Amino acid sequence: MERNKALELVAKQLTEKRYIHTLGVTETAVHLAEKYRVDEKKAELAAIFHDYAKFRPLNEMKQIIVQEKFDELLLHYNPELWHAPVGAYLVQQEAGIQDIEILDAIRYHTSGRKNMTDLEKVIYIADYIEPGRSFPGVEEARKIAEKDLDEALLFSVRNTIQFLMDKQQAVYPDTFELYNDIVMKKERYMHGKK
């Protein structure tokens, strides 16, 4: 799908503020994709569509999670997580995007998961560091993203987990698995080098 057509479809689903966020994520994702040799067209489309379901009614998202037999564990966690897997489903159904790599990048952009692809990492990080974001640590995350994709992912997920813990909110298991996966791979790499 061509960029302008994708943006046109997404604009109808989002508030103006969220659309501006989406443009920032798209710009950041294309930059990171180029830097880390990830398919730029796929990164662009995944970024454009990443928040497609963000403003769908909660009851509609809940119905899709149940009807499509998504992990029902989702229903016990913050509904903020729902728009990612529901978005992947709706992008496939309503926008006709069938590329599983793009759909998975949308699906996991909030929770992350173990063994993320580089495209998934790019979308997760781009969403975290896009130019409109302003929170403690975002500048450091941006600097790390310019040097090392995996380190940027580790920094981002660690901050996300810490943020949820500080607010005494539950952390979705995929997010913990992502954190553990990165740390354990890093440890294996470090031990293998010695």
Rg, the chain, Cα only: 16
pLDDT of 194 > 60? The answer is: no
**In CATH terms, is domain 3-193 a member of 1.10.3210.10?**
yes
The answer to whether 177 and 161 are in contact (CB under 8 A) is: no
The pLDDT > 70 percentage for the chain reads 99
How many residues comprise the chain?
194
The answer to whether 72 and 44 are in contact (CB under 8 A) is: no
Average pLDDT estimate for 155-165: 95
Paired tokens of 81: 């997580």
The pLDDT > 90 percentage for the chain reads 93
Helix axis angle, 83-90 relative to 100-107, nearest 10°?
160
pTM, full prediction: 0.95
- Given this model, what pLDDT does residue 191 score? 74
Encode pLDDT of 31-77 as tens digits: 999 999 999 999 999 999 999 999 999 999 999 999 999 998 999 99
Where does the pLDDT of residue 193 fall: very low under 50, low under 70, confident under 90, or very high at 90 and above?
Answer: low
Task: Give the list of residues 6+ apart from residue 161 with CB closer than 8 angstroms, or none.
Answer: 171, 175, 176, 179
